Structure formats: C-alpha cells, structure tokens
Structure 1
C-alpha cells in the first residue's frame, strides 16, 4: 500500500487532479460565500432559529411598525402640534443658531470684534431675527415631511393591523379598536399602559426582543397604548419565505464548510508534492513558469486579485451568482500557477535570488568588479607611473595660464554671488520688481532664476491680494445696495401702512410689500447658494446624461416665458446622441441660470443661439444672445459676484447667476467661460463625454 502511494503521490496526473480540485474547491467556497454575503446579507443566524416567531425577520418587521407608531404618538402627536412648533427641540434650534452665528461672525459687516461674545450675540439675535425664524420654519417643514412619511410607510404594511394612542391622538388602520379584537388574530403584540402581552408565547424567548421593547421604555406607560396584530394574510407567506431562507442559509453554510475543508486539504497536499518526484527527493524540479522573476510574479498575483474584484464589482448583485464561476475559475487557475512557482522557488532557496531587482543589482556589481579586475598589476603600475608625472608636467608648463583661468573664474563667481546678495537685499527692502541678472550658467544662475521666480510669485500674490480687497469692497457695496433697496421700500411702506386708513391703498401697500419681500428673499437665497456652490459643499451624483434631451426638456418647461419675452431660440446639435458625465440637476441649474440671465438682460424680439459641438473627449455647449444693455464691462468682471451687465443695477438680477453656474460646472469636472463682443454675450460650457461602456 505504501509502495503504491509512493508511486502515485507525485505523478503529474495526480498533481493535475489535485490542481483541478483546488480550483474547484476555491471556486465553490467563493460562490457559497458570495451567496451568503450578497443574497442572504451575510446572515447565518437564521440557521439557528427554531421557528418564525423566534426569528430576526419577525422581530425586524414588528420593530419597524412599533418604531413608526411610537414616533407618531410620542414625538409628533399630530399635524397641528408640528405646525405650532411643538416638535422643535432646543438642541435643533441651538444647532441652527450656531450655524447662523458663525455666518454672522465671518460674513456680516455688523460683527464687532471689539465687543464681547455676549454683546455680539445679542446683536446677532437682532440682526438675524428673520433668518432664525426661517430656520425654525425649516425645522418644522422637515418634521412635517417626516410625519407624512411615517403615515405613508404604515399604509404599506399589508396584513398587519395596528392601533396606537397617547390618550389624545389615535393612529389605526382597524375599524375595531378593542384589545380583544386584536388578540383574536394568530399573532399579536400588546402594550397597554403597564401591561405587555405577546402571542405566541414563545415570542418572549426571541433573542431580539430586548431591542424591540427598548423602543417603548422611554414612554409614559400610564397614557400610551399600542396594539399590533398579524393576520394569516401576512403570516403564511412570511413563514414560508423564512423557511426557504433558512434552508438556503443552512445549505450554503454546509457547502462553505465542505469547500473550505477540501480547499485546505488539497492545497496543503499540492504544496507538499509540487517540485519534487517523491517525498524523499531533495532536488527541486523547476519548469517553464519558474523562469518568471518572483517579484514580477508577486505583482501579477496582486494584479489578478484586483482584476477579479474589479470584474465582480462591475456586475449587478442580482446577477453576480451567474458570473462568479466563469470569472473565478480562469483567474484562480492562473493565480495558482503563480503561487506554486513561488513555492518551488522557496523550496529551492531562490525566492530572493530569482527576482528582477536582485538580478539587476548583481549584474551592476559584477560589471564594476570585472572592470576593476580586468587589468593586471603591471598595467595599473604603468598607468600610475606614466599618467601622474605627465599630468604634473602639463600643469607646471601651463601654470600661468591655469592660474589666470582660475582667477578669472573665481572673480566671475564672486561677482555673481555679490549680484545675488545685493538683489536679495533689495527684494528684502520691498523692491519686489527687482530682477537679479546673472550671466552664464551653473548653480548661481539657477539660484538667481529661482529667486526671480519667487519675486514673480510674490508680485502675483500682492496683485491677487489687492484684487481680492477690491472685490471685497465691491461685494460689500453691491450687497448693501441690492439688499438695502427692497429693505428701504419695505420699511417705508410699513410706515405708510401704519398710518393709512383707506382699504384700497392698504391693499396696494401690502402688494408692494409682498413684491419687495420676495425680492429680498431671492437675493438672500442666491447669496446663500453662491456661497454653498463656491465652497463645493454640494453632493454631486455623476451619471450618463443625454445633453440634447436634457436641454429640450428644460426649454419646453420654459416655453411660456420665452413666448412672453418674444425670444426666438435657435438650437443646433449633432444628429447622433451625445452622452456626458454630469449631475443632471446641477447641470440644468447652471443652464437655467444662463437662460434666466437671458430673460432679464436679452433684447426683446432677438434670437438666442444654442449650439452643441462634439469635441471628441468633451462637448461644448454655447449659448449666445444680444444684450438689451450696453456691455461696457469685461468678461472677467462679469464673472465676479454681484456684477451685472447694467452698471446702473436697475434690473431685477442679483449678479450671482454666472458665479453660481461656474461653481456648479467646476464641481462636476467641467469648464465654464464667458465672452463679450460688443452687445453679444456668449457663455460656453465644456463637459466630458461619457462612453457607453464606462
């Protein structure tokens, strides 16, 4: 028997069979693991659950319903409570106040750093009273939206009856509200003041029950009542589905353990026999695959892992079980060949020597040693005896010349050094326009060029700082002008409204107040959106978008405004579909800002040209129109915040449209530019093209 084992254990046929067995076990293990991790959410707990009522599935369904009901009767109570601000907590308002106070500190001209924190906070409360009110309204809207979402979610539960009350508010989907009615169903959960009832009774043994009951622990048991009952309509398919999932998880677990054991045994056996003809054989047999350098081999193994992960990541989770075998088998086969090659080199003690890095270093060292060892001792002595005196003799006869050359070279270097030293002193003294001029080449020349580059950067920084200060001044002036105009009107009409007794005039004053307040709201919203866009604090969801369809759909929605302004839109685009990589909402917001500018500033009755060009790797979207105002301003200035084409600032724009559009295009990876030619205004958007296979 031992002789037969020795004869067959190291045969190429045996090794091939074990090799295939390793691949099959590895593929089976990965397949079983993916089935559990992806299809069963990695949940092995169902294997140990005795019945549905002790399962996580039952408790999770109940927990969702109970959580929604407790939030309704405990947190929200009713819609009136929410609208009256009863759900707005101190913590929520404190967070909103902290955000606005930070904005007040850094962005508002009324903040006085010389005052203490308490005085500034008092001033903040006065100046930001409207924004604080808006923040509170926003919190209320969010609570109202969450409240309606809970109601909608409860309606989606089929075959589940519920009743919840806090003594005042009641939420139920049952016409019969008595506890006995709910207890007549096959399964129920009762929280009646201090009483808790579960049926079937084994629910009390459910290991997830503590998570469930923790939901109602913070409630006042004296007033809160919750009944939940499950009908056969709900339980029968749920129990059937649980049983099927349990069978699937159990089978997957057995397969996983079996394949893992087979993989371990076959792989260990393969490691023991690879490279040798018998267990007593000390010589390692290498093959063609072992000619590959070990470090290259290791890099290929890592590359195969990355390739395998990448291929499976690109597959939809619903189809991954179909692709796992055809992807894993070839990758695992190639990877196992490479790993076994490393094992053979390890046995052969050439794991380090047979690397590309070692080979290169060894050859360089050997070449240097061979060059040194190539000459005999006699040759070396002749070279030293003949070459050294010859060099001394040449130096002696040329001594005056070499001395003059050395003196000239030293003088030139000292001159360059002094020029650099003097230039640095002048730049240090504030003359940033000074340029250090050093002739020739060498280290001093490069040093002078580097210092000159520093002065250029310093000049650029000073220029940018001056420009920034100018922009800040203009920003404050423009913001003050734009906000003060409607604010002054509001104050004036409020004073008139206080004194006016005529109802018809009161109605007119109120209409004006509404217009001005809406104008003020638009300005502040635009300012906030511009700040948010420029900071990049906007989530971007890049997807494959048909730019032509997006443009046509958007213009269709704006058709009424286009007809009112008597504008004629001319659209030119390629016949084939063009897909780009962009966030549809942000891209349309940018285009909408440009079209909004056209509505405000374009000459009535004129044409608007929109062209889409395919540039290969990107598309160019160009929007051109004739301005109703004289554009006596550069394109760069138009891109600045609160800049308008009409310097009188008589139009209704905020001057932020182009700034917002540019920021939104930038965060999507595109480019935005504008050009002005007389009264012709042209906006250009470049966006990367997305291929169908990306």
Structure 2
C-alpha cells in the first residue's frame, strides 16, 4: 500500500489534478468574493449587521440628502446671500489675490522694488482693484451655480420627506413644517434646539450614524432645524433589498472560506511535491519555464495581477461576476506556473542566484577583477609616470619660446575666465538677460555658450514655473470641492485612530480610510494623465484607420454600458470607406473619453447620434446627445480642466475627460471642439484624411 502511495504521490497525473484543484479553489474564492462585493456594493459589514436600521445602507439613504441640506443652509443660505459675497471662501480669495499680486510684481510697471512690501501691496490694491473684483465675481458665480445645482439635487429624492431651515431660509419638499407631522412616519430624524430625536431607537446604535450627525454638528444649533422622514413604502422596499443582499452575501462568504481552505491545503501539497519525483528524491528537476530569471518572474506575476485588475475594471462592476471566471482562470494558471518555478528555485537554494540583477553584478565583478589581475591598469600608470618627464626633457631646449606661448595662452584664458566669472556673478544676481561674450573656440568658449544656454533655460524655467504656479492655484481652487470630503474623512478617522483602543473600530476606521484614499487616487491618476497628454510626452504612430470599423467595434466592446444606460446609438456614415490618418490607440482613447462622458451625463432613454463625414481632405466625427442636466455653462468653460456638466461633484469623475481627449487629438494633428445648444451636447473630432500616397 505504501509503495502504491509513493508511486502516485509525485506522479504527473497527481500534480496535474492538484494543480487543477488549486486553480479551481483560487478562481472560486475570488469569484465568490467579487460576487459578495457586488451584492453588498462593497459593504462587507452587511454580513454582521443585525437589522436594517443598524446597517450602513440605512445611513447612506439619508447621508447625501443631509449633506445637500447642510451645505444649503450652512454655506450658501440663499441667492441673495451669495450675491452679497457672504459665501466666498476666504482662503480661496486669498489664493486668487496672491496670484494677482505675483502678476503685479512681474508684469506691472507700477511695481517698485525700492519700496517696501507693504507700500507695493497698497499700490497693488489700487492698480488691480478691477481684477480683484472680477475674481470675487467669478467666485460668486461659481457659488451661485453650486447653490442651484444643490437645489436641483434635492428634487431627485423619492421616499424621503425633508424640512430644513437656518432661521431665515427654508428648504423642503413637503407642506409639513412641524416635528409632530414628521413623527407620524415609521422612521425619522429630528434636529432642533441642541437636541436630536431619531426613530426607531435602534438607529441610535448605528455606528455609521455620525456620517449624518457629524455634518449637522458643524451648523449653528440655535437656528438650525432639520427634519428627515422615511415613507413606509420606501422603507419596506429597502428592508426587503437589504435582507436579500445579506442572505446572498453570507452564503458567498461561506463559499469563500470553503474555497480558501481547499486552496491552502492543495497549494501546500503541490509546493511539497513540485520539482521532485518522490519524497526520497533530493534533486530538484527543472523545465524550460524555470530558465526565466526569478526577478523577471516576479515582475511578470505583478504585471498579471495588474492586468487582471484592468480587465475586470474594463468589463465594469456590474459584469465582473459573470466575467471573473473566464478572466481569472487563465491568468491564475499562468501565475501559478511562475510561482511554482520560484518554489523550485527556493528548494534548490538558487532563489537569489538565478536573478538577472545578480547575474549582471556578478559578471561585472568578475570583469573588473580580471582587468585588475591582468595588470593593464598598472601598465598605464607606469607609462604616465615615465612619459611626462621624457616630454619635458625633449622640449627643454625651446623653453623660452614655450614659456612665452604658455604665458600668452594663459593670458587669453584668464581673460575669458574673468568674462565668464563676471557674467556668472551678474546672472547669479538675477540678470537673466545678460550674455557672456567670449571670442574664439575652445573650452572656455564652449563653457560660455553652455552658460548662455543655461541662462536661456532658466528664463524659460522661470516663465514655466510662474505658469505652473498659476496652474497649481487653478487646480487647488477647482478641485478643492472634490477632495474636501475624502480628505476631511481621512483627517477625522486618523484622529479617531490615534484615540481608539477597540480593535474592531480600528479595523472599521482603516476601511474607511482605504475607501477615501482610493477616491483621492482616482482624482490624482486623472490629473497625471491630463498633464502627460497636455505636455505631449506621448509617442504618436500615425497610420491608416478605418473609422467606421473602429467605432463599430468599440461600441460592441461597451455594449454592456450602453444597455445599462438605456441609450440608443445611431451611426450615420458614407457608403464608401472612410480612412483617417491617426494613431489608433490614442484616437480610441479620445473616443472612449467621449463615450464615458455620454454614459455619465446623457439623458436616460434618449438617442445618441454618431455622424461620420468626409469633408474632402479631412474626416469629421461628431457625437450628439441630450444632456440629463441643464447645461447652464458655455462650451469654453466645459473645455476647461476640472469642469463637469453637472457640477454636482458626487460622481467618480474628475472633470478631465474632455481636456484629455482634446490634448490627444491635437497630438495626432487633429482638431477637437464641442458645442452646446440648449440641452444638446455635441463633440467633434476633425482628423486629416488618409490618402493612398500618404
């Protein structure tokens, strides 16, 4: 019996079976985990939540509503208040004024460097009073737009009844204004006169409740009145959905645990038998894949993880469960082969030695050692020591001529050196327009030319830095609303982590920090992509592109998003083939940004028209859709960075999509523009037509 066991324990069939079990368990665990994440919308706490009123789902229903109400009664109050400048953020205004003062220092003739900073600033206030007023006007306009958008957002809440007042301004979707009227609902939140009353009582024990109450605590309790109630029909529907998601998430958790146990046991056994033919075999047997360097192996493993994540992201959150098995299984198979290769090298004690870096450094060390051992360096040293005195002896008879020539040569070089030294001093003192003039050719002449080139570069760098500073100021002003909520949450939870002793709450705080930091990462990634596109630091490979085929194939790839958005796409194109001269990868990236914009902001159930026109030497590609939001800003403003059509800042986007698309099209020699006609939004890409002789 033992002999048979030994024969089968390390057989190729056994290894293949165990290998398949590892892949099955890994894929199953990952698929069950993804399914759980989809069902719970990333809220894994639903498994341990006792009832709906103590769940995160309950708090989330009222959180965004309360956030809108607190901003309206706390920050914006009324249109009249905004127009008076009451809502202007002092820090934002200070940044605007500082930017104008920098412009005053560099551009204005009224700036006098001999005056004190105080006197110059007083002069600046007089000269730039119109510009400062315009800056305040822009800020008021932005706040006014935000105020109306927040009021529009309040209209979408169904099943929630609310009343909010700061003593002067009132925002409500009901004729009810008294506490008692709101207390007739099956669930409500009442905040008035330093008190809060929440029903049912189980809600008081909800650990996520501070996400709602924390916003209200920042308002003046003497004047603030906020009533929020949930209708019975709304609650019944949400409780039913919560229970169904809880049951499904719990079942999937059991699957994850079962698959993980199978994965650990099967992988340990596979790692034990891989590379050997029996338990008594001390030799590790390698195959062709094991020749791959271990550091490159690790890079490939990390690359496959990134590739796996990218593929799941591309198919979309809703389709991740259906696609997780066909995506995960082949990648996991390739990854497991590479990991088992590392296990073999670990057993063979060649995990470090069989790396590319080790091989390079080892060969370099051997080369240096051989050169040193060969004596070639010693030979060169001997030649230098012997050759210099011999040269002096040979030229000794013409010493007067030599010393005179040397003196004249030295005088010219010293004069050139002094010119360079004086020029460097002037440049160091800030005179970037100074040019160092050194005649002739030689090291000093080249040095002077290089310094002049550096000066030119410094001038460009200073100008670029000033422009960059203005861009930074614009960035801070425009994305401050986007980063304020996650950043405030991160600061708050870090402070709570410092004080918290309960491990379960620490884990909860860390999860919140993880979510908020990922939101910030999305914004930062988009900013980097926009900077790279606008700088032109992207390789462009122009080729013949069949634009009709590209659009048709692309729409097929995003068909799931089209169906989810309930949009009907109509494509109009000429009967003859139409070819563009473009980079297919960059062109599709631009089109993908426009499609993403349509999916986010197009009116549900409406049509999207894609027109392809042959205009002779160019091909015009036009996207037309009806906006779900009122487009009360101009096309020029929408093309600016950080602008969004809805301005609500509750979506995951960063407002950079149109800017990136425009930059990528310009890189390919094309033109990009947009038009706004009422609620009709048009994006137009004009690219050179590809001719046969191109």
Work out whether the TM-score is over 0.5.
Answer: yes
Query: SS of 1:196's equivalent?
Result: strand
1:434 to 2:439 alignment: yes
Going from structure 1 to structure 2, the CA distance change for 1:298 and 1:147 (only over 3 Å counts) comes to closer
Structural mapping, 1:179-258, within 5 Å: 179-258=179-258
1:100 to 2:103 alignment: no
Q: Structure 2-normalised TM-score? A: 0.57
Inter-partner Cα distance in structure 2 for 1:206 and 1:255: 28
Contact 1:166–1:225 (CA under 8 A) maintained in structure 2: yes
Q: Flag the structure with larger Rg.
A: 1
1:164 Cα offset (Å): 1.7
Contact 2:579–2:689 (CA under 8 A) maintained in structure 1: no
Inter-partner Cα distance in structure 2 for 1:304 and 1:35: 21
Which structure has more relative contact order (CA 8 Å, sep 6+)? It is 2
State the partner residue of 1:12: 12
Inter-partner Cα distance in structure 2 for 1:273 and 1:103: 72
Structural mapping, 1:65-144, within 5 Å: 65-144=65-144
Q: Deviation per CA, 1:319-338, whole angstroms, max 9, x where unpaired?
A: 33333322322232223223
State the partner residue of 2:579: 576
Contact 1:159–1:233 (CA under 8 A) maintained in structure 2: yes
Q: Deviation per CA, 1:396-417, whole angstroms, max 9, x where unpaired?
A: xxxxxx9999769x99999998
State the partner residue of 2:447: 454
Inter-partner Cα distance in structure 1 for 2:78 and 2:354: 76
Inter-partner Cα distance in structure 1 for 2:252 and 2:404: 83
Contact 2:27–2:325 (CA under 8 A) maintained in structure 1: yes
Q: Deviation per CA, 1:26-45, whole angstroms, max 9, x where unpaired?
A: 22233334445567453211
1:346 Cα offset (Å): 2.9
Instruction: After superposing the two structures, state which structure 1 stretch, 33-42 or 67-76, moved more.
Output: 33-42
Structural mapping, 1:374-453, within 5 Å: 424-430=413-419, 432-436=437-441, 448=442, 452-453=445-446
Structural mapping, 1:273-288, within 5 Å: 273-288=273-288
State the partner residue of 1:324: 324
Contact 1:164–1:226 (CA under 8 A) maintained in structure 2: yes
Structural mapping, 1:609-628, within 5 Å: 612=617
Inter-partner Cα distance in structure 2 for 1:218 and 1:305: 43
1:308 Cα offset (Å): 3.8
Going from structure 1 to structure 2, the CA distance change for 1:36 and 1:460 (only over 3 Å counts) comes to same
Q: Deviation per CA, 1:363-402, whole angstroms, max 9, x where unpaired?
A: 999999999x9xxxxxxxxxxxxxxxxxxxxxxxxxxxx9
Structural mapping, 1:204-603, within 5 Å: 204-292=204-292, 294=294, 297-298=297-298, 300-351=300-351, 424-430=413-419, 432-436=437-441, 448=442, 452-458=445-451, 575-577=578-580, 581=586
Contact 1:665–1:671 (CA under 8 A) maintained in structure 2: no
Inter-partner Cα distance in structure 2 for 1:361 and 1:94: 55
Contact 2:438–2:444 (CA under 8 A) maintained in structure 1: no
Q: Deviation per CA, 1:516-555, whole angstroms, max 9, x where unpaired?
A: xxxxxxxxxxxxxxxxxxxx999969999x9999xxxxxx
Inter-partner Cα distance in structure 1 for 2:366 and 2:452: 54
Inter-partner Cα distance in structure 2 for 1:325 and 1:38: 15
Q: Deviation per CA, 1:37-93, whole angstroms, max 9, x where unpaired?
A: 567453211111112111112112212212222332333222222222232354444
Inter-partner Cα distance in structure 1 for 2:618 and 2:132: 47
Contact 1:188–1:227 (CA under 8 A) maintained in structure 2: yes
For the aligned residue pairs, the C-alpha RMSD in angstroms reads 5.1
Going from structure 1 to structure 2, the CA distance change for 1:579 and 1:46 (only over 3 Å counts) comes to farther
Contact 2:580–2:689 (CA under 8 A) maintained in structure 1: no
Inter-partner Cα distance in structure 2 for 1:267 and 1:226: 57
Going from structure 1 to structure 2, the CA distance change for 1:141 and 1:362 (only over 3 Å counts) comes to closer
Instruction: After superposing the two structures, state which structure 1 stretch, 56-65 or 427-436, moved more.
Output: 427-436
Contact 1:547–1:578 (CA under 8 A) maintained in structure 2: no
Contact 1:423–1:434 (CA under 8 A) maintained in structure 2: no
Structure 2: runs of 5 or more not aligned = 374-389, 420-435, 463-529, 549-576, 592-614, 622-661, 671-684
Contact 2:618–2:687 (CA under 8 A) maintained in structure 1: no
1:21 Cα offset (Å): 1.0
Q: Structure 1-normalised TM-score? A: 0.57
Going from structure 1 to structure 2, the CA distance change for 1:576 and 1:10 (only over 3 Å counts) comes to closer
State the partner residue of 2:526: none
Going from structure 1 to structure 2, the CA distance change for 1:44 and 1:540 (only over 3 Å counts) comes to farther
Inter-partner Cα distance in structure 2 for 1:347 and 1:140: 69
Contact 2:40–2:46 (CA under 8 A) maintained in structure 1: no
1:146 Cα offset (Å): 1.6
Going from structure 1 to structure 2, the CA distance change for 1:407 and 1:269 (only over 3 Å counts) comes to farther
Query: SS of 1:61's equivalent?
Result: helix
Contact 2:68–2:154 (CA under 8 A) maintained in structure 1: yes
Going from structure 1 to structure 2, the CA distance change for 1:223 and 1:455 (only over 3 Å counts) comes to closer
Contact 2:104–2:111 (CA under 8 A) maintained in structure 1: yes
Going from structure 1 to structure 2, the CA distance change for 1:427 and 1:257 (only over 3 Å counts) comes to farther
